[in-house]
Amino acid sequence: MEEFRGLQPQNIEKLKRNHIDLLKLCSQLEAIADGLPARIDERLCLNVSATLIPSLERAQALEEMILFPLLGQKPDGCRRAVSTERLVAEHRHDRLAAIDVVHALQALADGGCKISPDGTGYMLRGFFECVRRHVAAEQTGLAMLFDRLAVNKINEGRQQQAAFHGKTVTVKV
Ligand SMILES: [Fe+2]
């Protein structure tokens, strides 16, 4: 169980909460993109521009500290671990793209966006689609960790039971 030390209930809750926040921001960005060019909700643009980068950084920092080290471990009996390099690269890409998205949202709110509505919509859609794909991949990784944790708990229980009956049993899954 030592390998799952970072996966404490409060950290799992924070990881999930961060994903919910990011997906909500994606929906808001989609609503903004759908409204272009005629319907621009200035207040929504300003709200999303103020929260996007802090939300992204908060989610990424926790994932890189708690989730990725666990995903990068090879489970018993497996030859491969999840490639966390790709996820880290996506974090870097999303952070850089978020800066452009924030500038575009602020310009939309000010009424002075220099990029065409089509170009702005394309940028927003490219960003939130990447973030949604990334979150889905991490949620799959988290579900795999829960499965490993459940199997470890079952094995631990079996070994304790075997020790209680004076037997030595090695359980392979
Ligand atoms: Fe992430």
Give the pLDDT of residue 73. Answer: 82
- The stretch 108-137 carries a mean pLDDT of 92
User: Taking CA 51 as the corner, what is the angle to CA 50 and CA 54, rounded to the nearest 5 degrees?
Assistant: 110
CB 37 within 8 A of CB 87: no
Give the pLDDT of residue 51. Answer: 98
Nearest alpha-carbon partner for 155 in 82, 77, 69, 68: 77
How far apart are the CA of 94 and the centre of ligand 1, in A? 9
What is the Cα–Cα distance from 113 to 105, expressed in whole angstroms?
8
Domains of the chain in start order, with CATH, are 2-143 (1.20.120)
How far apart are the CA of 60 and the centre of ligand 1, in A? 5
Give the pLDDT of residue 136. Answer: 97
Cα dihedral 41, 130, 139, 66 sign: negative
How far apart are the CA of 93 and the centre of ligand 1, in A? 11
Residue recorded with tokens 């952070």: 95
- The stretch 80-102 carries a mean pLDDT of 91
What is the Cα–Cα distance from 32 to 119, expressed in whole angstroms?
13
pLDDT tens track for 144-161: 888 887 777 676 677 777
How far apart are the CA of 159 and the centre of ligand 1, in A? 36
- The stretch 96-118 carries a mean pLDDT of 91
Confidence of residue 173 (pLDDT cuts 50, 70, 90): very low
Higher local confidence (pLDDT), 28 or 166: 28
In the DSSP assignment, the letter for residue 4 is: G
What is the Cα–Cα distance from 35 to 129, expressed in whole angstroms?
17
Higher local confidence (pLDDT), 92 or 161: 92
How far apart are the CA of 90 and the centre of ligand 1, in A? 8
How far apart are the CA of 143 and the centre of ligand 1, in A? 15
How far apart are the CA of 136 and the centre of ligand 1, in A? 9
pLDDT tens track for 8-67: 888 999 999 999 999 999 999 999 999 998 899 999 999 999 999 999 999 999 999 999
Asked whether the predicted pLDDT for residue 137 surpasses 90, the reply is yes
How far apart are the CA of 4 and the centre of ligand 1, in A? 19
How far apart are the CA of 15 and the centre of ligand 1, in A? 9
Give the pLDDT of residue 7. Answer: 76
Asked whether the predicted pLDDT for residue 88 surpasses 60, the reply is yes
